[in-house]
Structure 1
Amino acid sequence: MSNWLRFQLELDAASAIDLDTNEQILHVAGRHIIVLLGRLVVPLFSLLLFGGFALYRATGGGFVVTGVGVQPGFDFVNWLFAVVIAALSLIWVALLVRGKPTRQARIVLGMIIAVLALLIYFRSIGGRIFYHDPQIFVGQAFDWINLVLLVLTLFSGVGVFFVSYDWLNDELILTNQRVIFDDDQVIIPRLLERRQQQQIFLEDVQDVSATTETYAKHLLGYGTIRVKSARINGDIVFASAREPMLMQQKIMGQVRALRKAMSDENYVRLVADHIYGQKAQASKPSPDIRKTTVWRWLNWLIPNNPEIDEQTSMITWRPHWLFLFKGLIGPFVWLTLGSLALVIGAALLLPSPLLIGLGTLFMLLVFFLWAAWEWEDYRNDLYILTPEKLIDIEKKPFGPEDRREAGLGAVNNISSQTSYISNLLGYGDVVVTTAGGGGAFTFERIPRPRDVVAKITEYNVRFKRADKNRSLNDMLGLLRHYHDAQLERDEINRPTL
């Protein structure tokens, strides 16, 4: 079971995130099975209840029956009900003494006592709530009541499957570059899902804590993982995690290994660059990403999304093409209704050709101006990623413009959000939180949001590593100046050739 569950988690994690070229999944932590059991209480109870009733009736069972030859009287079950009524009556009296605050509880208890009293009376006159006799209850297997019970059983079984699948799709993923919290809510697997992802780059991981708050959690082996980010409001909290201590060790081990590898690599490169003059050529991030393309002759109407500048590695996204068509619904409705009005008016009123021509011209003019406005409004909403910064441009057609920029060094967190419908149609929102009071960047209704998150992540990682290299270069430059100053003041011996 453990190996199968681990395999399923890794399989789902691989499909939930888009990995960078050199990125690989190292470990995945899912919710503990106790969470699944808690969520299965209602659907599993419904499955057993409706399925049990259907089976009971199919084999000759009946409910609330009389006249089946049972002798009237006060049997053991009735005495048991009487004891329960007596106990509940004592509780009711105790609540009555406490006064008005217990009024609702007393009403509920009173109803339960009344139902039990009716059951005692019903059974005392020879009735039975449940009675099984295949000779009396014949032909119930496929009557309308059993068909309803079977349908309810089927729905309950589907509910059990969906709850189990939804539980399996919540995971904390560790790669060699980042930690990702993938939170999915599933209605129909792979079709109607709502995804929300939050991530922290390993360079920004400040601390990882794993806690099992109670003895029960400790014995069962689950708890809470908190990944603390050096960025403000960037923490990830994953509750009810399976084997939290193992995940904590995995993350911190990878963080330490990454920091050591980066330090060693940087020192070797700096020595080769500044001491031996072996300057390495800086590499640019790859702008390669899936894009929506149309026929070349339609590019003037629907541009490629995203548009890629290979020279500068700049990527420009626009909202999903569906929202261009949504904006064009109004103009086409106007064109359709206007055409109908012209045809009906020409048939009934018999206007002159001049009036018909003027009406047609007015209708087409409004249509083209309105459609051009919607098209220009769509084209002017731009989300731009460069190797150094993010740019969000919202511009009204031929009018005001709202432009925001943030350097990649200010990025705190990158997450994606989809609703059930947007996930089905292939678009969503990408939210980029940044340091400072400027608020988050939200790339709204963008196609393939997971691809966008992966690409921003790649650019961000490269920028941060380059920024760290610049800091090390500055430090090495300072040391060189200090060394030259010492040589000028004869504080150290000059090297001899």
Structure 2
Amino acid sequence: MDNQLRDLVELLSTIHLFDSLNEEQLLFIADRLSTQLFRENEVVFEAGSQADGFYIISSGRVKILHGNSDKGHEISTYQRGDFFGEEGFVANQPRKVTAVAASNIVLYHLPSDQIDAIIHEFPEIVSPMRLALDSFGLFIKHKFNWRAPRESIQFIARKHVVFLFIKLILPLLISMVTLAFSGVIFFTSENKSTFLDLIFFINIFLVIVWLIWLIIDWTNDFSIISNRRAISLEKVALFYEKRQEAPLEAITSVETKTDQLGRILGYGNIIIRTFTGNLIFKNLAHPDLVVRLINEERSRSKVLSKKSQRNSKEDAIRERLGYSKRNEDPFDETIQNMNSDAPSSVKSGFLTEWLSSLFRLRSEENGVITYRTHWFILLRKIGLPSAVFVFLFLSFLLNVAGIFTPLPLGQYIILILFISLGVFFWWLYQYIDWRNDRYIVTHDQVIDIYKKPLGEEQKRSAPLKNIQTVEFERLGLIGLLLNFGTVYIRIGDTTFTFDYIYNPSAAQSEIFDRYREFNQKQIEKEQERQKQEMADWIEIYHQVVKNGGTPPTPPSFEGFSGYNIEEKN
């Protein structure tokens, strides 16, 4: 087996579609793959065209767009080891997205007719392919604006459909009873009235609304795996929203938990363990396949490309020994333009954005991000003293008008001034108390500060590198409408809470991005240190070989002494 074929088989073994196959079976698939090269910005396929198979990326990056290549917007970016073009699993299906080369790329193409032959030979890959196809169908129907630049969604699923039916059982039973009861009254009553008509149709309306609400509630919960993190999204329409996530680097183990009914129907829980807590994907179909996919992404996130490492080492050695640079391969993914794409931004309505800027709920200076609690919390704090101010002002007007005169006007004004002064200090205390609570994210730390006016100050900090999980919650209709909630950051045995901050989803993404940037810089520093250390060894080796193994002559002190030095002076 030559090196190129060995690399291809190794690449196939890391893809969850084929990771259950042995080497001989992978060779069977490899023989049916064709290699295709595309230059940067070339179109691989357009939305609406006929699908002729799917693609595996050998090197480079591919952008997936909604719409055509001219006006479409990017929804994902894939890189080495990823596959795309899932529509090609089934022959003669129209493409639903457009694929464009984001850099010079090398692809392996598996035609649709060959897929049928492979499925016939290895039926065990049918379930992973169905899982991938279902995930692709969900992915293209939803926008995930929290996705970071170059973050690709590898898997997305809802709870098993049986749990939708379980949700619907209770309202269906109640509706059957109530509709039967109201129907009997409606159709058997001799004295029909508008009231009975109204009760009957309101009953039908409420049942329909309840069923629709439960269906929407089921569709709002997602379990997601990207190339950077595992994410659980839960949302109860109008009441609650939560996103919990764990970086792939923080995951220690992944396991499944099923009961007897789950094993029969093919669903179960997936428990993702980190050093300090668990992230649970609840009631997913094919839990064993999802675990394989998570482990695939974990392995890929921890292991750098062998080719990239080799090129980096070769560059360091050539530079140290004074040789010319290596000839660059235009399809080598290690030399592609790695500038980050412009991050997507999510904005609330004009009024909430304007109020956020007015109260400086989020500010950034020299790379240090500061969050403050939402202005709604400020209104809640100053609400009572403000109401007292209004009451005092109204009572003053009533006194002037002669409607309310407990005291003569002059004495009443003095009384109101004294009371207003106390209320003002009360109002000011509440404002400063709100203003003093700050949550800070630097390039290497998270800090939360709680400070009482004229009282104690509590300041906690922890390094970004120790983050285990980041999640947020938006509770209640007010929190959803005004877009505020709490971000929970698990660091070691401690949980940092950014309470009632504006746009917690964006804050969670920013914290996660800072965590990733910090870790990436640390990895790059360590790689550079190892590279230079290795180059030192090579340089020493090169010098020893150049000298033929003869050690350099040590300096001689013959002919020198203290007397000689004095004589020369």
Structure 1 length normalisation: TM-score?
A: 0.68
Give, in angstroms, the shift of residue 237 of structure 1: 2.0
2:113 alignment counterpart: none
Q: Distance in 1 between matches of 2:542 and 2:314?
A: 20
1:97 alignment counterpart: none
2:485 alignment counterpart: 428
2:556 alignment counterpart: none
1:392 alignment counterpart: 448
Letter of the aligned partner of 1:228 in structure 2? R
Q: Is the 8 A contact 1:9 1:169 kept in 2?
A: no
2:279 alignment counterpart: 236
3-state SS of 1:258 partner: helix
Counting only pairs closer than 5 Å after superposition, residues 466-481 of structure 1 correspond to structure 2 as: 466-480=521-535
Note if 1:208 corresponds to 2:274: no
Q: Distance in 1 between matches of 2:548 and 2:176?
A: 88
Q: Distance in 2 between matches of 1:401 and 1:382?
A: 11
Give, in angstroms, the shift of residue 433 of structure 1: 0.6
User: Over residues 430-483 of structure 1, what are the superposed CA-to-partner deviations in whole Å (9 max), with x where a residue is unaligned?
Assistant: 000101x4x210000011111111111111111112222233334345445655
Q: Distance in 2 between matches of 1:2 and 1:49?
A: 39
3-state SS of 2:255 partner: strand
2:498 alignment counterpart: 443
3-state SS of 1:418 partner: strand
Counting only pairs closer than 5 Å after superposition, residues 179-328 of structure 1 correspond to structure 2 as: 179-184=230-235, 186=236, 189=237, 192-210=238-256, 212-214=258-260, 216-229=261-274, 231-233=275-277, 235-261=278-304, 265=308, 268-269=311-312, 272=315, 276=319, 302-309=358-365, 312-328=366-382
3-state SS of 1:387 partner: coil
Q: Distance in 1 between matches of 2:359 and 2:232?
A: 33
1:50 alignment counterpart: 178
Counting only pairs closer than 5 Å after superposition, residues 69-84 of structure 1 correspond to structure 2 as: none
Q: Distance in 1 between matches of 2:377 and 2:305?
A: 43
3-state SS of 2:239 partner: strand
Letter of the aligned partner of 2:143 in structure 1? A
3-state SS of 2:170 partner: helix
Q: Distance in 2 between matches of 1:372 and 1:325?
A: 12
- Paired residues, number: 400
Cα gap change, 1:267/1:345 in structure 2, threshold over 3 Å: closer, same or farther?
A: farther
Bigger Rg, which one: 1
Structure 2 unpaired stretches of 5+: 1-129, 326-334, 550-569
Letter of the aligned partner of 1:221 in structure 2? G
Q: Distance in 2 between matches of 1:204 and 1:249?
A: 17
Counting only pairs closer than 5 Å after superposition, residues 449-464 of structure 1 correspond to structure 2 as: 449-464=504-519
Give, in angstroms, the shift of residue 404 of structure 1: 1.0
Cα gap change, 1:264/1:458 in structure 2, threshold over 3 Å: closer, same or farther?
A: farther
Note if 1:176 corresponds to 2:227: yes
Cα gap change, 1:334/1:285 in structure 2, threshold over 3 Å: closer, same or farther?
A: farther
Letter of the aligned partner of 2:283 in structure 1? S
| RMSD between aligned residues | 4.0
Q: Distance in 1 between matches of 2:547 and 2:231?
A: 53
- More relative contact order, 1 or 2 (CA 8 Å, 6+ apart): 1
Counting only pairs closer than 5 Å after superposition, residues 91-240 of structure 1 correspond to structure 2 as: 144-145=195-196, 147-184=198-235, 186=236, 189=237, 192-210=238-256, 212-214=258-260, 216-229=261-274, 231-233=275-277, 235-240=278-283
Structure 1 unpaired stretches of 5+: 61-136
Q: Distance in 2 between matches of 1:467 and 1:143?
A: 74
Give, in angstroms, the shift of residue 243 of structure 1: 2.5
Cα gap change, 1:273/1:32 in structure 2, threshold over 3 Å: closer, same or farther?
A: same
Cα gap change, 1:21/1:285 in structure 2, threshold over 3 Å: closer, same or farther?
A: closer
User: Over residues 1-44 of structure 1, what are the superposed CA-to-partner deviations in whole Å (9 max), with x where a residue is unaligned?
Assistant: 999986784368635x6111222322212111111222221101
Q: Distance in 1 between matches of 2:397 and 2:187?
A: 69
User: Over residues 207-233 of structure 1, what are the superposed CA-to-partner deviations in whole Å (9 max), with x where a residue is unaligned?
Assistant: 33345543x43342212222233x321
Cα gap change, 1:177/1:375 in structure 2, threshold over 3 Å: closer, same or farther?
A: same
Q: Distance in 1 between matches of 2:141 and 2:468?
A: 26
3-state SS of 1:31 partner: coil
Q: Is the 8 A contact 2:316 2:532 kept in 1?
A: no
Q: Distance in 1 between matches of 2:522 and 2:253?
A: 22
Q: Is the 8 A contact 1:29 1:243 kept in 2?
A: no
Counting only pairs closer than 5 Å after superposition, residues 347-386 of structure 1 correspond to structure 2 as: 347=402, 348=405, 351=408, 353=410, 355=411, 358-386=414-442
Letter of the aligned partner of 2:263 in structure 1? H
Give, in angstroms, the shift of residue 357 of structure 1: 5.3
- 1:415 equivalent among 451, 457, 471: 471
Q: Distance in 2 between matches of 1:429 and 1:466?
A: 28
Cα gap change, 1:228/1:299 in structure 2, threshold over 3 Å: closer, same or farther?
A: closer
Q: Distance in 1 between matches of 2:317 and 2:361?
A: 42
Identical pairs, percent: 21
Q: Distance in 2 between matches of 1:292 and 1:379?
A: 23
Note if 1:405 corresponds to 2:449: no
3-state SS of 1:14 partner: coil
Give, in angstroms, the shift of residue 262 of structure 1: 6.1
Q: Is the 8 A contact 1:285 1:462 kept in 2?
A: no
Q: Distance in 1 between matches of 2:439 and 2:484?
A: 14
Cα gap change, 1:266/1:331 in structure 2, threshold over 3 Å: closer, same or farther?
A: farther
Q: Is the 8 A contact 2:255 2:270 kept in 1?
A: yes
Q: Distance in 1 between matches of 2:273 and 2:518?
A: 21
Cα gap change, 1:203/1:352 in structure 2, threshold over 3 Å: closer, same or farther?
A: closer
User: Over residues 130-161 of structure 1, what are the superposed CA-to-partner deviations in whole Å (9 max), with x where a residue is unaligned?
Assistant: xxxxxxx6565x66456434423332222222
3-state SS of 1:232 partner: coil
1:132 alignment counterpart: none
Q: Distance in 1 between matches of 2:461 and 2:480?
A: 28
Structure 2 length normalisation: TM-score?
A: 0.60
